[in-house]
Amino acid sequence: MNTFVGTIVDDRFKISSPLGRGGMGAVFLAHDKKTDRQVAVKFLYGGVATHQLEERFQREYKMMANLSHPNIATLYAGGRDEETSHLWYAMELIDGKSISDLIEEEAPLDYERVKNILEQVATAFIYIHPQGIIHRDITPRNILLTEQGRVVLVDFGLARDLALTAMTASGMVMGTPHYMSPE
Protein backbone atom coordinates (compact mmCIF):
# COMPACT_ATOMS: atom_id res chain seq x y z
CA MET A 1 0.00 0.00 0.00
CA ASN A 2 2.95 2.35 0.47
CA THR A 3 3.81 2.13 -3.25
CA PHE A 4 2.46 5.64 -3.86
CA VAL A 5 4.00 7.42 -0.85
CA GLY A 6 6.29 10.20 -2.05
CA THR A 7 4.96 10.23 -5.61
CA ILE A 8 3.37 13.23 -7.28
CA VAL A 9 0.18 12.58 -9.23
CA ASP A 10 -0.92 14.82 -12.11
CA ASP A 11 1.98 17.20 -11.36
CA ARG A 12 -0.19 18.41 -8.49
CA PHE A 13 -0.88 15.95 -5.65
CA LYS A 14 2.08 14.83 -3.50
CA ILE A 15 1.17 11.56 -1.75
CA SER A 16 2.34 11.47 1.87
CA SER A 17 0.75 8.61 3.84
CA PRO A 18 -1.96 5.92 3.70
CA LEU A 19 -5.36 6.72 5.21
CA GLY A 20 -7.23 3.47 4.54
CA ARG A 21 -8.18 0.79 2.10
CA GLY A 22 -11.38 -0.71 0.82
CA GLY A 23 -12.66 -3.26 -1.64
CA MET A 24 -11.59 -1.39 -4.78
CA GLY A 25 -8.72 0.80 -3.73
CA ALA A 26 -6.55 2.57 -1.21
CA VAL A 27 -6.86 6.15 0.03
CA PHE A 28 -3.86 8.37 0.81
CA LEU A 29 -3.26 11.74 2.40
CA ALA A 30 -1.82 14.14 -0.16
CA HIS A 31 -0.87 17.78 -0.51
CA ASP A 32 -2.45 19.69 -3.40
CA LYS A 33 0.33 21.96 -4.67
CA LYS A 34 -2.15 24.00 -6.74
CA THR A 35 -4.40 25.00 -3.83
CA ASP A 36 -1.96 24.40 -0.94
CA ARG A 37 -4.38 22.17 0.96
CA GLN A 38 -4.49 18.60 2.23
CA VAL A 39 -6.68 16.20 0.23
CA ALA A 40 -7.45 12.49 0.06
CA VAL A 41 -6.40 10.61 -3.08
CA LYS A 42 -7.99 7.25 -3.89
CA PHE A 43 -6.18 4.79 -6.17
CA LEU A 44 -7.72 1.72 -7.77
CA TYR A 45 -5.76 -1.40 -6.83
CA GLY A 46 -3.42 -2.12 -9.71
CA GLY A 47 -2.77 -5.85 -9.41
CA VAL A 48 -6.45 -6.80 -9.39
CA ALA A 49 -7.82 -4.05 -11.63
CA THR A 50 -9.91 -5.85 -14.22
CA HIS A 51 -11.65 -4.00 -17.01
CA GLN A 52 -14.89 -4.22 -15.01
CA LEU A 53 -13.28 -2.71 -11.88
CA GLU A 54 -11.71 0.08 -13.92
CA GLU A 55 -15.10 0.82 -15.46
CA ARG A 56 -16.73 0.85 -12.00
CA PHE A 57 -14.01 3.16 -10.62
CA GLN A 58 -14.47 5.56 -13.54
CA ARG A 59 -18.25 5.56 -12.99
CA GLU A 60 -17.68 6.33 -9.30
CA TYR A 61 -15.49 9.27 -10.34
CA LYS A 62 -18.04 10.57 -12.85
CA MET A 63 -20.91 10.24 -10.37
CA MET A 64 -19.03 12.09 -7.63
CA ALA A 65 -17.86 14.79 -10.07
CA ASN A 66 -21.49 15.80 -10.61
CA LEU A 67 -22.37 16.00 -6.91
CA SER A 68 -22.16 19.15 -4.83
CA HIS A 69 -23.58 18.82 -1.33
CA PRO A 70 -22.20 19.54 2.16
CA ASN A 71 -22.92 15.95 3.27
CA ILE A 72 -21.05 14.33 0.35
CA ALA A 73 -17.26 14.42 -0.11
CA THR A 74 -16.28 16.94 -2.79
CA LEU A 75 -14.30 15.63 -5.75
CA TYR A 76 -11.44 17.80 -7.07
CA ALA A 77 -9.71 15.92 -9.92
CA GLY A 78 -9.01 12.48 -11.31
CA GLY A 79 -7.51 10.44 -14.09
CA ARG A 80 -4.90 7.79 -14.82
CA ASP A 81 -1.41 8.20 -13.35
CA GLU A 82 1.13 8.26 -16.19
CA GLU A 83 3.90 6.57 -14.19
CA THR A 84 1.95 3.70 -12.61
CA SER A 85 -1.11 3.53 -14.93
CA HIS A 86 -3.36 3.43 -11.83
CA LEU A 87 -6.70 5.20 -11.93
CA TRP A 88 -7.05 7.81 -9.18
CA TYR A 89 -9.13 10.71 -7.96
CA ALA A 90 -8.57 13.46 -5.40
CA MET A 91 -11.29 14.52 -3.02
CA GLU A 92 -11.98 16.54 0.08
CA LEU A 93 -10.08 15.38 3.14
CA ILE A 94 -12.50 14.84 6.00
CA ASP A 95 -11.00 15.97 9.32
CA GLY A 96 -12.71 13.51 11.61
CA LYS A 97 -13.60 9.89 12.10
CA SER A 98 -15.96 7.26 10.79
CA ILE A 99 -19.21 6.53 12.56
CA SER A 100 -17.77 3.06 13.18
CA ASP A 101 -14.84 4.60 15.10
CA LEU A 102 -17.21 6.96 16.93
CA ILE A 103 -19.37 4.04 18.12
CA GLU A 104 -16.32 2.03 19.16
CA GLU A 105 -14.91 4.95 21.16
CA GLU A 106 -18.03 6.55 22.63
CA ALA A 107 -20.97 4.11 22.68
CA PRO A 108 -23.65 4.43 23.78
CA LEU A 109 -24.23 7.65 21.86
CA ASP A 110 -26.61 10.36 23.03
CA TYR A 111 -30.04 10.30 21.31
CA GLU A 112 -29.76 13.89 20.03
CA ARG A 113 -26.33 13.20 18.54
CA VAL A 114 -27.58 10.07 16.74
CA LYS A 115 -30.63 11.97 15.49
CA ASN A 116 -28.40 14.75 14.12
CA ILE A 117 -26.14 12.24 12.34
CA LEU A 118 -29.10 10.41 10.79
CA GLU A 119 -30.74 13.65 9.66
CA GLN A 120 -27.54 14.66 7.84
CA VAL A 121 -27.23 11.23 6.18
CA ALA A 122 -30.89 11.49 5.12
CA THR A 123 -30.17 14.94 3.65
CA ALA A 124 -27.45 13.38 1.47
CA PHE A 125 -29.92 10.71 0.29
CA ILE A 126 -32.57 13.34 -0.43
CA TYR A 127 -29.99 15.04 -2.65
CA ILE A 128 -28.67 11.98 -4.56
CA HIS A 129 -31.80 9.87 -5.02
CA PRO A 130 -33.69 12.30 -7.32
CA GLN A 131 -30.53 12.30 -9.47
CA GLY A 132 -30.91 8.54 -9.89
CA ILE A 133 -27.97 7.58 -7.66
CA ILE A 134 -28.31 4.71 -5.20
CA HIS A 135 -25.31 4.39 -2.85
CA ARG A 136 -25.71 0.63 -2.08
CA ASP A 137 -22.95 0.48 0.56
CA ILE A 138 -24.14 2.47 3.56
CA THR A 139 -21.97 1.31 6.46
CA PRO A 140 -20.61 3.06 9.56
CA ARG A 141 -17.20 3.12 7.79
CA ASN A 142 -18.63 5.07 4.83
CA ILE A 143 -20.14 7.82 6.96
CA LEU A 144 -17.62 10.28 8.36
CA LEU A 145 -18.07 12.89 11.06
CA THR A 146 -15.94 16.05 11.02
CA GLU A 147 -14.61 17.74 14.15
CA GLN A 148 -17.28 20.43 13.58
CA GLY A 149 -20.11 17.87 13.53
CA ARG A 150 -20.71 17.73 9.77
CA VAL A 151 -21.60 14.27 8.50
CA VAL A 152 -20.08 13.29 5.13
CA LEU A 153 -21.05 10.33 2.96
CA VAL A 154 -18.08 8.74 1.13
CA ASP A 155 -17.21 5.70 -1.01
CA PHE A 156 -19.51 5.59 -4.01
CA GLY A 157 -17.65 2.54 -5.35
CA LEU A 158 -20.76 0.35 -5.33
CA ALA A 159 -23.21 3.16 -6.14
CA ARG A 160 -25.50 2.79 -9.09
CA ASP A 161 -26.42 5.61 -11.42
CA LEU A 162 -29.83 4.66 -12.82
CA ALA A 163 -29.17 6.86 -15.88
CA LEU A 164 -26.26 4.61 -16.90
CA THR A 165 -26.41 1.03 -18.06
CA ALA A 166 -26.85 -1.69 -15.46
CA MET A 167 -23.71 -2.29 -13.39
CA THR A 168 -24.76 -5.56 -11.80
CA ALA A 169 -25.73 -8.72 -13.58
CA SER A 170 -28.80 -10.70 -12.62
CA GLY A 171 -28.05 -12.76 -9.51
CA MET A 172 -24.99 -10.64 -8.61
CA VAL A 173 -24.82 -9.42 -5.00
CA MET A 174 -23.23 -6.04 -4.18
CA GLY A 175 -22.56 -4.53 -0.76
CA THR A 176 -20.91 -5.09 2.59
CA PRO A 177 -22.37 -8.38 3.93
CA HIS A 178 -22.91 -7.27 7.55
CA TYR A 179 -24.89 -4.21 6.40
CA MET A 180 -26.96 -5.70 3.56
CA SER A 181 -30.65 -6.44 3.87
CA PRO A 182 -31.32 -10.18 4.13
CA GLU A 183 -33.39 -10.40 0.96
Residues 6+ apart with CB under 8 A from 183: none
**Active-site annotation holds for 36:** no
- Selecting among 32, 101, 110, 137, the annotated active-site residue is 137
Question: CB pairs under 8 A, 24+ apart, for 20-29?
Answer: 22/155, 22/157, 23/157, 23/158, 24/53, 24/56, 24/57, 24/60, 24/157, 25/57, 25/157, 26/1, 28/4, 29/93
The whole-angstrom separation of Cα 111 and Cα 116 is: 9
Give the residue numbers marked as catalytic.
137
